[in-house]
């Protein structure tokens, strides 16, 4: 079936895609005919990252523009019409909340003119960006896809071309929606992605949640096809509080470190051992410090250093006594990237702790299953 998409591609990309309805099988939602059809309009945004980098005397650095990226995948023009924007060119190590807010505003300004968006991004903080955009842009029925690569696109052997083509195909599909990462043939919810391999092409995994879809031989197989269930109105948010600190516990850590952090931060996430708890080293340093944060109206959230299955503070005494004494939050099955960016987003909307708790425990883009 022919489908023409218009997509805007940012080095992060955006595409405008005008879709005809396609036949989609209902069991696995395999679109056997769809390989990208006639042109929808998409936008592509390029922000930099390995995919757009070249080797220099000082190492890899972003040097390839969004338009140049498209020269490596001329076949994309067969199924989508692409406009490009390059808001910045950065190693993703340098990406922060200011960039997430800028991307969200840029997409908001172009949203009505395109049917899909693809953002090219470095892999190191891609999961943070995908989660952050999931909170800043909610209930979007037009897909916003984030992708990148482990090798630059100008190399003979690279994952960049396949990842970019897969992203454009997915952004051009009429069942695609929400915020997602497309990488290594997987489509992962933006709040569930984690980079688990530093060099391998299968760098990203979906944590505590199934993949949204997979892409093989130009065909998209949907495992979760829930676009028709998305009935809430589109919302763009414009504020985040970046003053969040993530503290990773190690054996013997002194709770007084929390006192040193207190003046500079508005919220705290403690990455604890196992299912969650605080150590007690013959003193009450952690107890006293937590009390100080809570009394000041600064949220404290307990997360876990374990990647899979999440936290449950009520299992062991070291967690249960803390939860019974203080109104600390838990990440439960949320990823660390989602927990951090969700706290930034929620604190950007309110400082009232009850309203904050309600926002933090609201499921957004599949980020939270268990409470």
Residues 188-233: tens digit of each pLDDT: 999 999 999 999 999 999 999 999 999 999 999 999 999 999 889 9
| 251 vs 118: CA distance, rounded Å | 42
| 171 vs 6: CA distance, rounded Å | 10
More confident residue, 224 or 20: 224
Cα distance from N-terminal residue to C-terminal residue, the chain: 43
Which of the four pLDDT bands, split at 50, 70 and 90, describes residue 77?
Answer: confident
Which of the four pLDDT bands, split at 50, 70 and 90, describes residue 307?
Answer: very high
Which of the four pLDDT bands, split at 50, 70 and 90, describes residue 30?
Answer: very low
Which residues sit opposite 269 in a β-bridge? 246, 301
Taken as a whole, the chain contains a residue count of: 371
CA 159 to chain CA centroid, nearest Å: 20
More confident residue, 80 or 187: 187
| 197 vs 6: CA distance, rounded Å | 33
The proportion of the chain whose per-residue pLDDT surpasses 90, expressed as a percent, equals 70
- Tens-digit pLDDT profile for residues 40-71: 666 666 666 667 676 677 777 776 777 888 88
Which of the four pLDDT bands, split at 50, 70 and 90, describes residue 334?
Answer: very high
| 267 vs 287: CA distance, rounded Å | 16
Both tokens assigned to 256:
């007084």
Q: Domain 244-360, what architecture?
A: 3-Layer(aba) Sandwich (3.40)
Domain borders along the chain are 5-235, 244-360
**pLDDT (average), residues 327-337:** 97
Is the pLDDT score of 185 beyond 50? yes
- Tens-digit pLDDT profile for residues 156-181: 899 999 999 999 999 999 999 999 99
38 touches 2 (CB < 8 A)? yes
| 85 vs 71: CA distance, rounded Å | 15
- Tens-digit pLDDT profile for residues 107-158: 999 999 999 999 999 999 999 999 999 999 999 999 999 999 998 888 889 9
More confident residue, 82 or 60: 82
Is the pLDDT score of 302 beyond 50? yes
98, containing H or E segment: helix 97-110
| 149 vs 120: CA distance, rounded Å | 9
Q: What is the CATH number of domain 5-235?
A: 3.40.50.1170
Q: What is the pLDDT of residue 283?
A: 80
Q: What is the pLDDT of residue 190?
A: 98
Q: What is the pLDDT of residue 315?
A: 94
Asked whether this chain's domains 5-235 and 244-360 adopt the same fold, the reply is yes
For 338, what's the count of Cα atoms within 13 Å in the CB-facing half-sphere?
Answer: 32
Q: Which of 18-22, 27-31, 323-327 has the largest mean confidence? A: 323-327
- pTM, rounded to two decimals: 0.87
| 147 vs 184: CA distance, rounded Å | 9
Q: What is the pLDDT of residue 72?
A: 87
Q: What is the pLDDT of residue 285?
A: 86
- Tens-digit pLDDT profile for residues 87-99: 888 888 999 999 9
Q: What does the buried/exposed string (b/e) look like for 247-258 if buried means 16 or more CB atoms within 10 Å of the residue's CB?
A: bebeeebebeeb
Q: Catalytic residue positions?
A: 50
């Amino acid at each position: 079936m022919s489908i023409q998409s218009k997509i805007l591609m940012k080095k992060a990309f955006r595409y405008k895609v005008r879709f005809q309805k396609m036949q989609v099988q209902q069991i696995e939602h395999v679109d056997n005919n769809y390989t990208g059809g006639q042109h929808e309009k998409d936008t592509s945004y390029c922000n930099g990252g390995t995919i757009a980098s070249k080797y220099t005397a000082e190492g890899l650095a972003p040097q390839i523009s969004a338009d140049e990226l498209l020269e490596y995948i001329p076949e994309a023009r067969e199924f989508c019409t692409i406009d490009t924007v390059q808001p910045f060119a950065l190693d993703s190590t340098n990406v922060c909340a200011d960039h997430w807010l800028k991307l969200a505003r840029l997409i908001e300004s172009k949203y009505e003119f395109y049917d899909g968006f693809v953002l090219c991004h470095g892999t190191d903080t891609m999961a943070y960006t995908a989660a952050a955009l999931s909170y800043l842009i909610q209930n979007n029925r037009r897909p916003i896809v984030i992708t990148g690569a482990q090798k630059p696109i100008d190399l003979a052997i690279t994952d960049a071309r396949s990842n970019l083509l897969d992203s454009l195909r997915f952004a051009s599909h009429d069942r695609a929606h929400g915020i997602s990462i497309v990488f290594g043939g997987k489509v992962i919810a933006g709040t569930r992605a984690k980079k688990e391999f530093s060099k391998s092409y299968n760098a990203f995994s979906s944590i505590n949640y199934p993949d949204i879809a997979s892409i093989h031989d130009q065909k998209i197989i949907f495992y979760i096809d829930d676009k028709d269930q998305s009935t809430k109105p589109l919302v763009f948010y414009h504020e985040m509080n970046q003053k969040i600190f993530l503290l990773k516990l190690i054996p013997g850590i002194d709770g007084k470190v929390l006192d040193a952090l207190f003046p500079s931060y508005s919220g705290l996430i403690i990455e604890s051992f196992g299912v969650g708890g605080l150590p007690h080293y013959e003193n009450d340093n952690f107890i006293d410090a937590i009390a100080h944060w809570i009394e000041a109206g600064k949220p404290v959230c307990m997360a876990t250093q374990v990647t899979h299955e999440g936290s449950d503070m009520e299992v062991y005494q070291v967690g249960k006594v803390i939860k019974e004494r203080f109104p600390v939050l838990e990440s439960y099955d949320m990823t660390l990237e989602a927990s951090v960016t969700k706290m930034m987003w929620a604190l950007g909307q309110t400082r009232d702790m009850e309203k904050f708790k309600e926002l933090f425990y609201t499921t957004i883009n599949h980020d939270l299953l268990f409470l």
